[in-house]
Structure 1
Amino acid sequence: MAVHHAATIVPTKAELLAAWVPAQPWAAGADTSSLTKVGSYRFDDPAGEVGVETHVLATADGQVLHVPLTYRGAPRAGGEGSLVTTMTHTTLGDRWVYDARHDPVYAAALATAIATGGREADLFLATPDGLEPQPASARVRGSGSGTSPAAGAWADPRVTVDGATSRLEGDGAALTVLHVLSTTTTVSAPADGLVLTGTWPGQEEPVLLAEHRLDAASGS
């Protein structure tokens, strides 16, 4: 379950994305002079401490970017190199925003969703009268049907970039996160892995977002 609060955020998410995304190597082939949100989805942190949100953005030249971030209430130990910015949230206080690819909470949540056939977290708005359900702006689904991967497998994900994709390696497993999405290609799972697909308003056919392979060596 993900809870939103009616709050002022400085900088806004749109502002931080506009400042950070153009400098990322996986976005080099896209015109990022303007970015428009077309959807987003969240995963749950079992500990309830980390916000895990992935943004789906349209670029000035009509491409679609897939950008995962994590939000924390305190700095992540050892995470200085993946810090995107800090923000001030009028309800939650200071927040540290990270490139989620380097965050073990994101890697574990993504791997779990793919392996277990999971989906995005339900979204609620906090109001004086309680939590109000909110519509999802993007929906995702994993293709697996197994049990949750061991959280320890992603304690320190090793990240490499190959063109418009990122590879996250854990202990005996690997994730591939697509950053520039193909909205017209039929999705098929790799022979040795499982996938996460997603849809959003105006995109009714599922789009490939990420892949999960149980043997890190098999994905090279």
Structure 2
Amino acid sequence: MALLHRATLHPTKLDLLTTWLPGRPWYQGPTGVEMVSRGAYRFDDPAGEVGIETILVAAGDGPVHQVPLTYRAAPLQDADEWLVGTMEHSALTHAVLSGAGQAEQYFEVDGRREVRPPTMTIDVDGGGDVPEVGVVRRVVDEDDTVIVTDAVELVVVRRPVAGAVGARGATLSGTWDGQSTAVPLAYVRTR
């Protein structure tokens, strides 16, 4: 469950993504144009240590890009090159392989919870065993980001579109405003 706080953020996540995203090798679209959110989803970390939120954004009429963000109590060691977009692979991997749904988000107002409706719908076809993920052995950050660990290979689809065929395995798919057909967002294969 994700507790959201009513707060003013400066810069905003979209401000950060507007400057960060065009520098990624998998980015396609205009530069110097503000990113617009198309939807987002969250997962709970099974260990309760890391929050993960994935935002789907686009610049102008450019394609939708998927950007996982993590929230941590302390910086992730040896991850300075990923100021925006680092992800705790075990939370996403666990969610896809276990078939877990997205985390419920809510605001606390005057001592009571107000549920925040999701901005997109996700579906996972997992539901199987979740292995110990192990050590990250390799990361390939191209059109899709592939994270290879001791036990799994996680593929994050960076430009999710309908009809895309990608890696096979347990699949996370989603729909959002303007995208009524479910599209693949991530795949997990055990090794």
Q: Which TM-score applies when normalising by structure 1?
A: 0.79
> Is 2:95 aligned against 1:119?
no
Shift of the alpha carbon at 1:189? 7.2
Residues 160 and 187 of structure 1, relative CA distance in 2, 3 Å threshold:
closer
Shift of the alpha carbon at 1:186? 6.6
**Equivalent pair of 2:98/2:129 in contact (CA under 8 Å):** yes
Which residue identity lines up with residue 5 of structure 1 in the other structure? H
Q: What residue ranges of structure 1 are gaps of 5+ in the alignment?
A: 85-98, 216-220
Q: RMSD in angstroms over aligned alpha carbons?
A: 2.0
For residues 22 and 124 of structure 1, the distance between their equivalents in structure 2, rounded to whole angstroms, comes to 31
1:64-75 residue pairs with structure 2 within 5 A? 64-75=64-75
**Equivalent pair of 1:165/1:178 in contact (CA under 8 Å):** yes
Runs of 4+ aligned structure 1 residues displaced above 4 Å come to 186-189
Tell me the SS of whatever aligns to 1:177.
Answer: strand
For residues 12 and 181 of structure 2, the distance between their equivalents in structure 1, rounded to whole angstroms, comes to 30
> Is 2:29 aligned against 1:30?
yes
Tell me the SS of whatever aligns to 1:18.
Answer: helix
1:97-176 residue pairs with structure 2 within 5 A? 99-100=85-86, 103=87, 106-150=88-132, 153-156=133-136, 158-162=138-142, 164-176=143-155
Tell me the SS of whatever aligns to 1:82.
Answer: coil
For residues 186 and 141 of structure 1, the distance between their equivalents in structure 2, rounded to whole angstroms, comes to 16
Shift of the alpha carbon at 1:209? 0.5
Instruction: Tell me the residue number matched to 2:163.
Output: 185
For residues 188 and 172 of structure 1, the distance between their equivalents in structure 2, rounded to whole angstroms, comes to 20
**Equivalent pair of 2:15/2:34 in contact (CA under 8 Å):** no
Residues 172 and 46 of structure 1, relative CA distance in 2, 3 Å threshold:
closer
For residues 76 and 164 of structure 2, the distance between their equivalents in structure 1, rounded to whole angstroms, comes to 38
Identity, % of aligned positions: 37
Q: What residue ranges of structure 2 are gaps of 5+ in the alignment?
A: none
Shift of the alpha carbon at 1:39? 0.6
Which residue identity lines up with residue 91 of structure 2 in the other structure? A
How big is each residue's C-alpha offset from its partner over 1:180-208, in whole Å with a ceiling of 9 and x where there is no partner?
111x3177872xx1211011123221111
Shift of the alpha carbon at 1:53? 0.6
Which residue identity lines up with residue 2 of structure 2 in the other structure? A
1:16-27 residue pairs with structure 2 within 5 A? 16-27=16-27
Residues 169 and 124 of structure 1, relative CA distance in 2, 3 Å threshold:
same
